[in-house]
Amino acid sequence: MPLQTDLQRPARGPLMVDIAGLQPTAAECAMLRQSAVGGVILFARNCVDAEQVRALCGELHALRSPPLLIGIDQEGGRVQRLRAGVTRFPPMATLGRLADRDGLEKAQTAARDWGLLLGTELRALGLDMDFTPCVDLDRGVSAVIGDRAIHRDPEWVGGIAVAFWAGMVRTGLQGVAKHFPGHGAVAADSHLDLPLDKRPLSAIQEDLQPFAALIAAGIPAIMPAHCLYPQVDPERPAGFSPRWLQDILRKDMGFTGVVVSDDLSMAGAHGVGDMAARVDAALAAGADLLLICNDPEGAQMAAVHLQSKDKFPTGNRLERLAGNAATAPLSAADRARCLQQIEQLRALTPGFAG
């Protein structure tokens, strides 16, 4: 059947997809106008420099109304898609190193300035959301997390992440805490395999603490991990599990924001079935926004599948991920202070090129 357009279904749909290059092709524009699509995620291949990204965001936002949500992975360190024309941030583990050296309060101050500078730069380019902060605990097990983790201490991770979000939220940039309920205790990379965390829920409670702190602070979105926790749900990875998303995250922890799936093209999601099955399972579990990356055929399959239904979710929660105006502009003095904090953090990361 023909794909329905946003003129027939005006709200944002539940898919967030990607594009191949520096501008969307005609075919990609047609895809992005489909009612099942609600957003675009940018990768390094889409980013030359800040001015090019600003123009790209303007072009993407103009494709439809309400505008597509535009997101990016801009954590710092090895996960920073846009590098030219913006601040080059170190890995977030440097905040933990600063806490070890100078105390938690110093690290929180630096984190707040980091969030403020990051958010100001990305909102100025038209980005709505950043898939950060990563609050997996640094258990020395997961290479794919590694120095993306802030620290091992859950109270410190929560306190630093909340300070980071406090800076970021002032700018109007939306954040996504990840990877719920915690990816730090497994060695396998969910991009390539399905990690298995055999701990009971009582042990995983420690990993939940930073998420609880961010929920209390008002973080608008949380991303579940493509990990299986068999003592909690023996059949479904967290991103496809009503037990994790509805019972624990929403009912027990009180989260009312957006659940953003990790990439449904990752190997950790393949056990659920084909792309249509993954889409159905994620939505049934309680996800609101579904990422499909580096798989245009899978994205097209998902859009066709959703639009073959009489109804698919377009819930009001997605409105929370649209970027908004800063509560106050970043003054020259504030910017200088934030940059100085980042320079000091970079010095704590041996070998960081910047």
Tokens read off for 72: 């990016």
> Is 250 assigned a ligand-binding role in the annotation?
no
Catalytic residues: 191, 262
Please indicate if the annotation marks 309 as binding a ligand: no
Instruction: Check whether 198 is labelled as a binding-site residue.
Output: no
Q: What are phi and psi of 116, to 5 degrees?
A: -65, -45
Phi-psi category of residue 247: left, alpha or beta, with phi > 0 → left and psi -120 to 50 → alpha: alpha
Are 165 and 108 a contacting pair, CB within 8 Å? no
Give φ, ψ of 289 to 5 degrees.
-130, 130
Lateral strand order in the sheet of 15-17: 258-259, 221-224, 174-180, 129-130, 69-72, 37-42, 15-17, 290-291
288 is in an annotated binding site: no
User: Is 226 known to sit in a ligand binding site?
Assistant: no
Phi and psi at residue 89, in whole multiples of 5°? -90, 145
Q: What 8-state DSSP symbol labels residue 196? A: B
Tell me whether residue 50 is exposed, middle or buried, using C-beta atoms within 10 angstroms of its C-beta: 0 to 12, 13 to 18, 19 or more. middle
Q: Output the known binding site for substrate.
A: 73, 81, 148, 178-179
Q: Output the known binding site.
A: 73, 81, 148, 178-179
